[in-house]
Amino acid sequence: MTHSYSIVGLGKLGASMAAAIASRGFDVIGVDISRRVVELMNDGHAPTQETDLEKTTSANKERIRATLSHKEAILGSDVTFVIVPTPSDERGAFSLQYAAWAFGEIGRALAEKDGYQLIVMTSTVLPGATRYGLLPILERVSGKVAGRDFGLCYSPEFIALGSVIHDFLNPDFTLVGEIDKRAGDLLEACYSDIMLNSPPCKRMSLENAELTKIALNTYITTKITYANMLADLCERIPGGNVDVVTDALGSDQRVGSKYLQGAIGYGGPCFPRDNIALRFIAYAIGSNADLAETTDQVNRNLLKRMAERISEILKPGTTVAVLGLAYKPYSHVIEESQGIYLAKALSQAGARVVAFDPLANEMARAELRDHAVILSSVKDCLAQADIVVITTPDPAFQALTAADFGQKESTVTVVDFWRILKNELDGKSGIKYIPIGYSTDDPANEARLAELWSETIPGVEQEAG
């Protein structure tokens, strides 16, 4: 059976989902409170920046329609995905403010619909939110009963900004939290039609699915933080090389290589808040999430230590170039960006900061204000810099050569968190290259270990002299 879809919320994720589903040959009605967003979608244009969104929207505009009316969307579709903001509140929980309003509008539309409708909550929420926070709104406003008159599922996306459309259509698995078998069967069938790679579908209760989503994200942040810990250790042992260590670790199937690189801390709109939210829900229901709390704290402390480390080599009049202001490559998002934090911290430490990012310059300019001068190219940054800090492995930075750093009277210091220029810059004249996660002072590291172990071997007398 061919289904038609509606999507409530046409932000970066919702608009990408609409375009992706339409690209698979299905009709999609998008709903948003912004008239500009609706007009752009109806004209075949992307309402926000995301890889391939403009192209995919334009190519499938005959199957995409947008509206301000929830009623129009519900009455004109069989399945509705709700992907609205669930921002963190003062407790660290995910607020249901926007979701509750959307579910009220959906409920009013359901009251006028004769047939069965499947509602799918897609935004990230905490365990219990869908069943006890949102379902009552649907039933109260619509006057209908879940399971009999409409279905309800919780099914989040597993995507990364910068590759939303690709990730949505090619997931490792789909996650379906279902209120009953009928709803789960229908959503699994929909995913079977939509997804390109025939992923396995993991079906479970609403609460287990809500926990799985937040657990997956916090597990990934723990893995990132562990790799960053190893990077710091490798800098302190002779011949230390975090890439060698993590490559070996990742070869073990129990570990895996993804997110095990060792570099800079994690950022973005999801990862930092997810650990805090897991801690909140754990304590709220009488458990604990000490590991999540520690991961968050270690991640924040790492960046503070890095800022202090770079600040120690500042001199009066030093210009620092920060390359990478988005929280990751291929994105214009600067939320919880490591580059933004470093730019502010180094400016406050007395440096003159210049900065560049291929996509995030405009967003960063508004955020950094007096802390940094945003320049229009990498070349402009390098021409002025005494110290260069590379915070993301963006292709624009990976393509740099020693010649790009120019001939200066004094040596330029390059702090490379991702080690993307090690082969190009290490040992080059006029460049002091500092690859994070590598030992750069073997004699000192050797002396430290020799002192440690020579004093702890019982029964062995030290030779005089």
Looking at the annotation, which residues are catalytic? 270
What Å distances lie between residue 400 and 172, 389, 413, 419, 425, CA to CA? 34, 13, 15, 12, 9
Give me the residues paired with residue 420 across strands.
none
Please say whether the beta carbons of 393 and 420 come within 8 A: yes
Specify the 3-state DSSP secondary structure of 146: strand
Q: Among positive and negative, which fits the CA dihedral 438, 344, 373, 50?
A: positive
Phi, psi for residue 376 in degrees, rounded to 5: -90, -5
Structure tokens at 274: 């997810």
Structure tokens at 227: 């790799």
Q: How far apart are the first and last CA of the chain?
A: 87
Please say whether the beta carbons of 240 and 419 come within 8 A: no
Structure tokens at 52: 């391939």
Return the exposure string of 168-187: e unless at least 16 CB atoms fall within 10 Å of the residue's CB, then b: bbebeebbbbbbeeebbebb
Please say whether the beta carbons of 154 and 132 come within 8 A: no
